[in-house]
Amino acid sequence: MSAPARLLVVGADALDDVLVRRWAAEGAMPTVARLLGEGTWGTILNPIGLYVGALWPSFVTGTTPARHGRYCFEQIRPGSYAAARIRAEHVRMDPFWNALSRAGRRVAIMDVPKTVIAADLNGIQLADWGTHDPDPASVFLTSPPELAADVTARFGRDPVGPCDRVPRTVEGLRALRDNLLRRVETKGRLARHYLAQGGWDLFLTIFNDPQCVGHQFWHVHDPEHPAHDPELTRALGDPIRDVYSAIDAALGAIIEAAGPETALVVYGSHGMGPHYGATFLLDSALQHIEAARMPLAGLRRRAGDAARWLWKRVPFRLGKVPGPAGKRLRSQIGVALPTLDVPGTRNCFQVPNNDTWGAIRINVVGREPTGRVLPGAAYDRFCEQLIRDLRDLVDADDGRPVVRRIVRMEDVYERTPDDDLPDLLVEWEHDRPIRAVKSPLVRFATGRYPGVRTGDHRPDGFVLARGPARAAGTLPRHLEVEDLAPTIAAHLGVALADVDGEAAPELLEVLAPPRDAKSA
């Protein structure tokens, strides 16, 4: 009987490298502990500032977010100030497994986040059986289509669902933990079932559970978190450790099913830590800065705020007029009342970019509908001044800086005049909660994070590779996430065209069969 796969790739979404190494050393992840003694460890660098929403499309396509076009669940529409939902089908570049399929390689692709079903695939694919935070319109799809019925009959449907909507009670959180553990166990059985069909050149499956458990249970895991409740921890234990241990067990069973001669890659996409930062304060800080730098802007804001205060208190509330007439009236009044809450009236404004890094778009003449900052030298001067002003922000509670660094987009990504990328990215200090900020220009900006997540992402991922030669060690350099697709393809004898990454010879050497086997 042929081996189930030439190359087995088992990934986990937001499987934190620090926790993995700690729990492997403590005995909670014995499979990983064994692999650390048999394989090669490497660090994976993700797209700077955009990694939360961009890394999976970058993994899948081997290209940067400037090429594949996806960095957040919502992105500004070029030529407007409005954001639109970004779905998997909006990714502009081709998944690497399509090239493998066209080259005659037989592939199995299971639950890679933010991907669409490939047409005419030489193999099988599952999309959104059990992914974290799928697109609202996503449904479980397969290639071939009839595979969905077989999967559902054998393994059921995703037992977790949208984890952000779980009740924040002991009972609700306990049910979420148990359902995550059930999904891990089920995904392991599902993977082994289709792996056993044999003849795969590439078998790729992703566990998406670390992302959900990290977001929802970090305050249970971390005694230093301000929301930590010892009573809750006594009731639940450590759900993050439980899920990591379950994935380790599932990984061990999948590796055993694949057989000793199958080359193996274990991939942790990015890390997890406490949900600290100040993205929810960024737009308020920008408005304070603009009001201070431009007195007329400040006057406009105060006038608009006063007018809106009066508008809400007039005896006859025109704002409550129903139907299309009321909507049109409210829109006209919103434009007439000057305010810095309207992006088109400002020199810069915040755009969506998840929570770990803040993102800013400059209102550029000729690019935005009512641009205010001239391109070229004026744009450069504005950015440099804004960077200085943002670096002055400190924690209003203790006076420590809150900004770690600020990146100009063109310094790290290749841009086009009509792209939808931010212009500046703001990395926050993530070592403590930030409740309010101030600076010489920002008298006091305060707010409250509107979500329920207590854990959020750290930027780097990892790869743990083992070939038949069992060469233990560490990669001599860090790899970019864009390097993984061309490396996987190269191991299978296929060169990818039109990618930004490069096949990593160090990783290929680890995965290669022993030299005597190659010569034979």
pLDDT at 343: 84
Structural domains for the chain: 5-275+456-519 (3.40.720.10), 279-446 (no CATH)
pLDDT at 134: 77
Please name which of 274, 133, 158, 111 lies closest in space to residue 211, comparing C-alpha atoms: 133
**Cis previous bond, 144, omega within 30:** yes
- Name the phi and psi angles at 200, rounded to 5: -80, 135
Contact by Cβ (8 Å): 279, 351: no
Q: Cα-atom radius of gyration of the chain, to the nearest Å? A: 25
Other beta carbons within 10 angstroms of residue 312's beta carbon come to 9
Contact by Cβ (8 Å): 4, 264: no
Please name which of 432, 447, 440, 358 lies closest in space to residue 398, comparing C-alpha atoms: 432
Between β-strands 107-110 and 123-127, what pairing exists: parallel, antiparallel or unpaired? Answer: parallel
Which pTM does this prediction carry?
Answer: 0.90
Between β-strands 461-466 and 445-446, what pairing exists: parallel, antiparallel or unpaired? Answer: unpaired
Dist CA 457 CA 434 (whole Å)? 16
DSSP string, 335-366: HHS--TTSGGGSSEEE---TTTEEEEEE-BBT
Enumerate residue ranges in the chain where pLDDT < 70.
1-4, 135-138, 295-341, 514-520
Please name which of 78, 71, 80, 73 lies closest in space to residue 343, comparing C-alpha atoms: 80
**Six token digits for residue 159:** 């037992």
